[in-house]
Amino acid sequence: AQTVTQSQPEMSVQEAETVTLSCTYDTSESDYYLFWYKQPPSRQMILVIRQEAYKQQNATENRFSVNFQKAAKSFSLKISDSQLGDAAMYFCAYRSVANFGNEKLTFGTGTRLTIIP
């Protein structure tokens, strides 16, 4: 079974600065997807960024980028120019490439990000 570990329960960053959230995972599969989700107080999980394991290029979405190290099974999220609206819980998640019945997301325990004005 796959596991996802987020070792930073809480992080804080000054507004406009850069912060990196860590995630490691364990799997025996060679092809899979990795995600970062944001969960604000409204509780709705919002997809921030997605990485396909077979792609060597790190995914980027505006101010959000990842550092995907497949051999090290590491998948960190970098948020540049942090904004007050970035404050939320961030969850790292793993998903197998869809074999029927194996598409569930496996989540880490989350990192609470606080933005300091």
Where do contacts with other proteins occur on this chain (CB under 8 A)? 4, 42-47, 50, 91, 93, 97-98, 100-105, 107-110
Task: Report the residue number, 47 or 116, with the smaller CB distance to other proteins.
Answer: 47
Least Cβ distance, residue 7 to other proteins (angstroms): 13
Compute the C-alpha angle 44/20/77, nearest 5°: 55
Task: Report the residue number, 85 or 101, with the smaller CB distance to other proteins.
Answer: 101
Least Cβ distance, residue 49 to other proteins (angstroms): 11
Q: Are 22 and 108 in contact (CB under 8 A)?
A: no
Least Cβ distance, residue 45 to other proteins (angstroms): 4
Task: Report the residue number, 53 or 97, with the smaller CB distance to other proteins.
Answer: 97
